[in-house]
Structure 1
C-alpha cells in the first residue's frame, strides 16, 4: 500500500528545472489504469462464468458434484503451471503484445466452452483458459510499475483489483437473466465475445509511457521521479521492466526458492494467502450452485442475491487498504498496520460456517456477505511481498507467493466437490472453508513474525 514520501508530489514531478508553473501534468496513466481495470474485470468473468452456468450445465451434460469440482479445479492446474512460462514470455515480448495475446486466447477458450457436448472438450478448454490467463496479473503488475510512481501504486493496484469483484457484482444479474432466457451456452458466447473485442481495444490504445500521445513531459518526469520505468524504455519494451534487467545481471537459480522458503515471513504469508484465496475460490466457483441446490433459489433470485457478497468484497478490498495505510500514518509499525487487517479479515471470514445454522435466505446472504467482505480485507498479501522480498528478488518471491495463492484454486474446488458428492450437502464444505480461514489467521499470528526484508546469506 502507499508508503510515506519525503517530498511533495509537486517537487517529485519537477526534476531538471520543470516547474509546476510551467507544466501541468497530464493524466495518461489513468487511461492505462482504466484499461487494466476493464481487462481484470473481463478476466474474472471468463474464469468464473462456469460457476454461473454450472447448475444448468451439470444437468445437460450429466456431471456430478465431484466431477464438477474437478472441472473448477483444472483451470488452476494449468494457470499455476504456466506462471513461469508466462512471465518469461512477458519479459521477452513486453506488456502490449503479451496482454493482447493473453486476452484474445483466453476469450476464445471461453467462447469455445459454449460449443462443447462432452466432458473431454470442456476439460481441454478449461486447461487452455488457465494457460492463456497466466500472464495477466504479472502484466498488470509490470504496467503499474512502469506507469505509476511508487506513491500511487497501491491505489492503482487496488483499483484494478477491485474490478475482480465489481464486474461479478454488477454483471451477475444480467448473466443469470441471459441464462434463464437463452440457456447456459449463451453465457460463454457473450463473455468470450466481449473479451475478444476488448483485446482489440487494448492493442489500439495501450502504449508505453514515452510513446503515449497523451502523456506530456511533466507526467513522464513525475512517474520517473517516483521510480517508474520510463527511463528504461528499451528494457521496458523488450524485456518488460526492472525485473528483466535484474535477471540479466544476476540470473535465476532454483535453489533460491528453497532458501526463501526457509524464512518464516514468506512461508507464513503463503499459508495465509492460501487460506484467504480458499474463501475467494468458493465464491468464484461453487457459490451459484450452493444457492441453487442448497437454498433452492430461482435464477432471478440467485442473480439478485449474488450481487451482495461481491459488492461487500469490493468494499472490503478498499477498506482493508485504507485501514492499513491509516494505521501507518498514525505511526503504527508495519507489523500492526499490515497484519492486523489481514488477521481480522481471516477471522471474520471464518464466520461463513454460521450460514449452516440459519433458515432465512436473507440471513444466509448477510452472513456470506460479511465473510466475503472480510476476505477482501485480507487481500493485502501482495503488499507484504514487497515489504519482505530480498533486494533484486521481488519477482521470484512474488512467484512463490502467487503459486501458493493459486494452489487454493486447485484444492478448494476439489475438496468442496468431494464433500458435496459424498454428503449431498454444503454443510461440510462451509465448515472446511471456515476452518481454512482460521488456519490462515493463526499463520499470521504465530508464523509470520516481524515484517522485515529477508536477507539471504550464502
Structure 2
C-alpha cells in the first residue's frame, strides 16, 4: 500500500460544519438588543429626571425596577426552559420584553406621578419578560458547543452587553437630543419585535436543525455538548422529577462550588449595573458632559469591555487546550480581569476627562475579561436542571440589578458626589475574586445523582 493509499481514508473524512456558529451569532444579536432594551433608561435617565422633576433616589428606584421582576422571573424562567425548550420560550420572551420597551415611550403623555408609576411598572414587565434570556443562552451554548469551545461561545454572547453600548449608546444619545427621550424606547423596542420573528427561523435543537450535517453533530457530541437537552427522553431515562424544583434549589445552594459561582455573579453584576444605569448620569452630572457626549463617550469603555469579553473566553479555552485543568483555565481570566476592574477607583483621583475615560475603559476591559460565569454554569450544571441552575445563577446576578442602582442613588443623595459610589463598585470586584478563590474550589460538571446522594458540601 502506498503512502497515498494510506492517506486516502483520512482525506475522505468530512470536516465538521459551522452551523453552530450561526446559532452563536443569533444569540449575540439577541443579547445585544436585550442589553440595549435594558440600557434605554440610563441614556434617557437625565432627560427623564429633568422633565419629571424626580430626585436621584427616585431615579435609582426606577433604575432598579427591572431588577426586582428580573430576579423573580429567574427560577420560573429556568423551569419554563427545562419544561418547554429554549426555542419557543425564548421567542416569546424577546417579543414581550420588546413590546413593553416600546410602551415606555408613551409614559410622557401622562401627568408626572402617573408617568413615574407607569415607567416603574413597565420596567418591571421588561424584567419579567427577560427572565429566561440568559439561562436560555447558557442552555443553547451547552447543547451546541463542545467543552473546549464553550468558554469562547459563552464569552461571545456575554460580550454582547458591551457591544450593545458601543452600537446603541451613541444612537440613543442622538435620539434623546434630536427627537426626545420617548423615541429611544419606541425604536429600540421595535427592533426587538422584528427580531423575535427571525428567531424561530434560525434557532433549533441540534438534532432538529435542518442544515446540521452528521459530522458536525458527531463533533459536538464527542466534545461534551449536551445535545439532547430539549429532546423527548426515553421512559426509562433518569430525569428531574416533576415538583422537585424546590428540592434541587436547596441542593444547588448547599453545593459549595455552585454557591461560590452564584455569589461571584452577584458581585460581578454590580459592576455591570453601574455601567448600565448610573455611568451615563455620572458623565453628565459629575463630569459635565452633554447627553450626546455621554452617549458617545460611554461607548469607548464598552468597546474595551467587548474586547475583554471575547479575549477572556478565547484565553480560557486556549489554556484548556494547552492542558490546564478546567478549574485553572476558567479561574485565571476571571481573577485577572476582576483585579483589573478595580481601577475604576482611580477616577476619584484624576481630573482630566481623558484619564477618567481611560480608567473606566481599563475597568470595563477587566470586567469583560473576567465575566466567564455563564461558561462556568454551562460547564457545571446537571443537564436535567440546566435551566433551573442558570435561573438560580441569574437570580444572584439580578440582586445586583436591584441593590446597585438604589445603593448608588442613596450615596449620591447623601454625599453629593460619585466618589463613594466608585469605591463601592471597586470593592464588589474584590469580593468577586474572593468568591472564586475561596469558595469555589474545583470546577467540574455535577451529575444530578450528585445532588441526590451526596451530603451538602457546605455542611461538610
CA 1:145–1:290 in 2, change beyond 3 Å: closer, same or farther? same
Residue 361 of structure 1, CA deviation: 0.7
After TM superposition, the score normalised by the length of structure 2 is 0.86
Is 1:236 aligned to residue 230 of structure 2?
Answer: yes
- String of CA shifts for 1:176-222, please: whole Å, max 9, x gaps: 11211101111001101111111111133333444433323333343
In structure 1, what is the Cα distance between the partners aligned to 2:206 and 2:134? Answer: 19
- Please name the residue that 2:6 is paired with: none
Deviations 1:120-169 (A, max 9, x none): 11011011101111111222222223333444333322222222211211
Alpha-carbon offset, residue 87 of structure 1:
2.2
Aligned to 2:66: 75
8 Å contact from structure 2 (residues 28, 157) kept in 1: yes
Q: Output the TM-score relative to the length of structure 1.
A: 0.86
Shift of 1:329: 4.2
Q: Does 1:35 align with 2:13?
A: no
The DSSP-based 3-state class of the residue aligned with 1:115 is helix
Task: Tell me if the contact between 1:150 and 1:228 (Cα under 8 Å) persists in the aligned partners.
Answer: yes
Tell which deviates more after alignment, 342-351 or 286-295: 342-351
- Alignment deviations for residues 361-388 of structure 1 (CA, whole Å, 9 cap, x no partner): 1100000111111111221223333555
Alignment of 1:63 with 2:54, yes or no, is: yes
Q: How does 1:28-177 map to 2 (within 5 A)?
A: 28-117=19-108, 118-177=115-174
Query: CA 1:214–1:447 in structure 2 vs 1: closer, same or farther (change >3 Å)?
Result: closer
2:339 maps to 1:347: yes
Asked if 1 retains the 8 angstrom alpha-carbon contact of 2:79 and 2:388, the reply is no
Moved more, 191-200 or 134-143: 134-143
Structure 2 residue ranges without an equivalent (≥5) = 1-8, 109-114, 456-460
Match of residue 177 from structure 2:
180
- In 2, distance between residues paired with 1:347 and 1:296? 29
Q: Is the 8 A contact 2:155 2:372 kept in 1?
A: no
Check whether the contact 2:74–2:392 (CA below 8 A) recurs between aligned residues.
no
Residue 411 of structure 2 is aligned to residue 414 of structure 1: no
1:356 to 348, 359, 363: 348
Look up the match of 1:435: 427
State whether structure 2 residue 290 is matched by structure 1 residue 298.
yes
Decide which moves more: 436-445 or 165-174. Answer: 436-445
Do structure 1's residue 190 and structure 2's residue 182 form an aligned pair?
A: no
Tell me the distance in 2 between the aligned counterparts of 1:249 and 1:19: 45
Task: Provide the C-alpha distance between the structure 2 equivalents of 1:109 and 1:147, rounded to a whole number of angstroms.
Answer: 30
Mapped contact 2:252–2:389 kept (Cα < 8 A)? yes
Task: Pick which of 58-67 and 437-446 moved more.
Answer: 437-446
> CA offsets, 1:320-344, max 9 Å, x none?
2233334444444444433232222
Asked if structure 1 preserves the Cα contact closer than 8 Å seen for 2:134 and 2:390, the reply is no
- For 2:327 and 2:138, the matched residues in 1 are separated by 24
Which one is further off, 114-123 or 340-349? 340-349
Q: Secondary structure at the match of 1:213?
A: coil
| Counterpart secondary structure, 2:264 | helix
Provide the residue aligned with 1:307 in structure 2: 299
Question: Which stretch of structure 1 is more off in the superposition, 305-314 or 260-269?
Answer: 260-269
Equivalent residue number for residue 270 of structure 1: 262
Rate the CA distance shift 1:67–1:247 in 2: closer, same or farther, 3 A: farther
1:320/1:376 contact within 8 Å kept: yes
Determine the C-alpha separation between the residues in 2 that align with 1:140 and 1:390.
16
Shift in CA distance, 246/27, structure 1 to aligned 2, threshold 3 Å:
same
Deviation, 1:47, is 0.9
1:212 aligns with 2:199: no
Corresponding position of 2:374: 382
Per-residue deviation, 1:24: 5.3
Alignment length, in residue pairs? 434
Cα pair 1:72 1:285 within 8 Å, conserved: yes
Of the structure 1 ranges 372-381 and 148-157, higher mean CA displacement relative to structure 2 is found in 148-157
Tell me if structure 1 keeps the 8 A contact 2:105–2:186. Answer: yes
1:236 match: secondary structure: coil
Q: Secondary structure at the match of 2:375?
A: helix
SS in 1 for 2:85: helix
Contact 1:169 1:310 in 2 (8 A): yes
Unpaired runs of at least 5, structure 1: 1-17
2:111 alignment counterpart: none
Contact 2:306 2:368 in 1 (8 A): yes
Query: Hey, what does 1:9 align to over in structure 2?
Result: none
- Aligned pair in 2 of structure 1 residues 224, 400: CA closer, same or farther (>3 Å)? same
Which residue is 1:11 aligned to? none
Q: Residues 432 and 252 of structure 1: is their aligned pair in 2 closer, same or farther, counting only changes over 3 Å?
A: same
Q: Deviations over 1:258-299 (max 9, x none)?
A: 444344433333332211111111001111111011101023
- SS for the counterpart of 2:106 is coil
Tell me which moved more, 143-152 or 423-432: 143-152
Cα gap change, 1:27 to 1:325, in 2 (>3 Å): closer
Match of residue 3 from structure 1: none
Partner residue of 2:458?
Answer: none
